[in-house]
């Protein structure tokens, strides 16, 4: 597909706009939308911050909570078996609008996963942002072809980064509105947005509080915390749980959206994987820390009882995935950690969550068993008693009666 401006393409990214002069022109052109973003934030943010500690939790179980992002262009022949091994029930699959001619390949790929709940992440380029008639035509094709197989469509991604094609929230709202109007022809589909990346909720606020004729069936967020290190760390006084609380409060206050939250992208970059890691080596973590952070991110998000699903980005990727495919299929420790988490916690319900400084305990229950998960940011000086042993982060049964809890989550199982 011919691009109207200069683009740089990488297999892990969309076509990225790199024309600096064009970016500068477009930011000036969209100045009014930026003003609206600031003004809306100044009005809404204080109210949301004030209310966030009073918003009640919801009742979310784990049946569809543990999501995974997969990609047609990354070992498609082996992906199904790997997903089944992980016991994942819900998937996110990317579809690039500039590859509309590959729709049959994507259909064949998706049809392998009809036992899964699927979000199709429709990724934009600048051509579709500017040409809304082209967007309408291609979205209509996608809705018609994929609606029998897909539960939800995420409309757009990373709207607060110019390299992904949007220069303002106004542009995104115009883009999303095309999908919303088409939805009337496909009443069974669900549309998710606005897909803001990182803790930049001023863009989320503008996308949720506006005068456009549109509504969202759920809130999608690319809630990365990797640049802060461990998932328990804070940014401007907000740890992951508080960020989720604020996001949930915004969804509850907005008349534009249902109170459903999907974290559709998060990960940590892995050391010594350049050029595949999406950040510099300074932000990267070793594979053991990565495995711990994967599990702890999911546990914290579930403990909030305000997130409907988290989708790890992604199954196979040398720089940030559970599997490194540079020399065949190599499962990182995070693969076994993720598998253990889903095996032990699938179809369970929240019971309680406690935090004592940097020590955490989450309890889930079902009709047949109760599971306590313990972890700490640093190894604890005093042991806890495990009279029946415990299951390690990677699924190994350990019979020690005393254990010093540390960064690796452990599972204590009690049969009812």
* Domain 16-347 and domain 350-415 have a common topology: no
Residue among 367, 335, 390 nearest 85 (CA):
335
The CATH number of 350-415 is which of 2.60.40, 3.90.920, 2.120.10, 2.60.120?
Answer: 2.60.40
Q: What is the pLDDT at residue 4?
A: 37
The CATH number of 16-347 is which of 3.40.50.720, 3.40.50.2300, 3.20.20.80, 1.20.120.790?
Answer: 3.20.20.80
Q: What is the pLDDT at residue 20?
A: 76
CA 31, CA 165: separation in Å to the nearest integer? Answer: 16
Q: What is the pLDDT at residue 19?
A: 76
Q: What is the pLDDT of residues 315-326, one digit of tens each?
A: 999 999 999 999
Q: Which residue has the tokens 């409309």?
A: 155
* Mean pLDDT (the chain, rounded): 94
Q: What is the pLDDT at residue 16?
A: 57
Q: Tell me how crowded residue 364 is: count the other CB atoms within 10 A of its CB.
A: 24
- What is the SS3 assignment for the chain? CCCCCCEECCCCCCCEECCHHHHHHHHHHCHHHHHHHHHHHHHHHHHHHHHHHHCCCCCCECCCCEEEEECCCCCHHHHHHHHHHHCCCEEEEEEEHHHHHHHHHHHHHHHHHCCCEEEEEEECCHHHHHCHHHHHHHHHHHHHHHCCCCCEEEECCCCCCHHHCCCCHHHHHHHHHHHHHHHHHCCCCEEEEEEEECCCHHHHHHHHCCCCCCCECEEEEECCCHHHCCCCCCECCECHHHHHHHHHHHHHHCCCECCCEEECCCCCCECCCCCCCCCCHHHCECHHHHHHHHHHHHHHHHHHCCCCEEEECCCECCCCCCEECCCCCEECHHHHHHHHHHHHHCCCEEEEEEEECCEEEEEEECCCEEEEEEEECCCCCCCEECCCCEECCCCCEECCCEECCCCCCEEEEEEC
Cα of 398 vs its chain's centroid, Å: 32
Q: What is the pLDDT of residues 15-46, one digit of tens each?
A: 456 677 887 888 888 899 999 999 999 999 99
Q: What is the pLDDT at residue 2?
A: 37
Intra-chain end-to-end CA distance of the chain, in Å: 59
Query: For residues 329 and 77, is the Cβ–Cβ distance under 8 A?
Result: no
The full set of domain ranges for the chain reads: 16-347, 350-415
CA 193, CA 185: separation in Å to the nearest integer? Answer: 19
CA 175, CA 124: separation in Å to the nearest integer? Answer: 9
Q: What is the pLDDT of residues 360-414, one digit of tens each?
A: 999 999 988 999 999 999 999 999 998 889 999 999 999 999 999 999 999 999 9
Q: What is the pLDDT of residues 263-316, one digit of tens each?
A: 999 999 999 999 999 999 999 999 999 999 999 999 999 999 999 999 999 999
CA 29, CA 38: separation in Å to the nearest integer? Answer: 16
Q: What is the pLDDT at residue 367?
A: 85
Q: What is the pLDDT at residue 29?
A: 87
Q: Say yes or no to pLDDT of 252 above 90.
A: yes
Two tokens, residue 367: 């009709």
Q: Say yes or no to pLDDT of 7 above 70.
A: no
């Amino acid at each position: 597909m011919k691009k109207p401006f200069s683009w740089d393409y990488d297999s892990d990214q969309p076509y990225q706009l790199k024309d600096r002069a064009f970016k500068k022109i477009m930011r000036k052109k969209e100045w009014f939308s930026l003003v609206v973003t600031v003004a809306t934030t100044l009005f809404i943010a204080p109210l949301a911050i004030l209310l966030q500690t009073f918003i009640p939790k919801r009742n979310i179980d784990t049946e569809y909570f543990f999501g995974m992002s997969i990609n047609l262009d990354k070992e498609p022949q082996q992906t199904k078996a790997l997903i089944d091994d992980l016991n994942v029930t819900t998937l996110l699959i990317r579809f690039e609008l500039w590859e509309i001619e590959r729709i049959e390949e994507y259909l064949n790929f998706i049809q392998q996963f009809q036992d899964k709940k699927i979000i199709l992440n429709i990724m934009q380029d600048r051509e579709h942002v500017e040409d809304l008639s082209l967007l309408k035509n291609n979205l209509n094709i996608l809705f018609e072809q994929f609606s029998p197989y897909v539960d939800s469509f995420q409309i757009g991604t990373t709207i607060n980064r110019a390299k992904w094609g949007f220069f303002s929230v106004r542009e995104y709202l115009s883009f999303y509105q095309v999908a919303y109007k088409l939805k009337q022809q496909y009443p069974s589909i669900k549309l998710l947005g606005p897909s803001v990346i990182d803790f930049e909720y001023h863009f989320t606020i503008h996308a949720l509080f506006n005068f456009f004729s549109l509504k969202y069936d759920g809130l999608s967020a690319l809630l990365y915390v990797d640049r802060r290190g461990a998932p328990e760390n804070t940014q401007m006084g907000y740890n992951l749980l508080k960020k989720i609380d604020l996001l949930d409060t915004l969804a509850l206050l907005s008349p534009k959206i249902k109170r459903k939250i999907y974290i559709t992208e998060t990960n940590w970059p892995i050391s010594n994987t350049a050029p595949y890691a999406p950040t510099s080596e300074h932000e990267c973590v070793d594979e053991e820390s990565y495995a711990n952070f994967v599990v702890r991110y999911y546990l914290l998000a579930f403990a909030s009882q305000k997130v409907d699903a988290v989708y790890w980005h992604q199954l196979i990727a040398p720089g940030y995935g559970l599997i490194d495919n540079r020399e065949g299929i190599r499962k990182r420790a995070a693969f076994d950690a993720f598998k253990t988490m889903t095996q032990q916690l699938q179809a369970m319900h929240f019971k309680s969550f406690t935090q004592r400084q940097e020590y955490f305990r989450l309890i889930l229950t079902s009709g047949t068993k109760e599971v306590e998960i313990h972890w700490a940011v640093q190894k604890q000086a005093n042991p806890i008693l495990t009279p029946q042993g415990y299951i390690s982060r990677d699924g190994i049964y350990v019979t020690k009666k005393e254990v010093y809890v540390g960064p690796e989550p452990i599972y204590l199982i009690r049969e009812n």
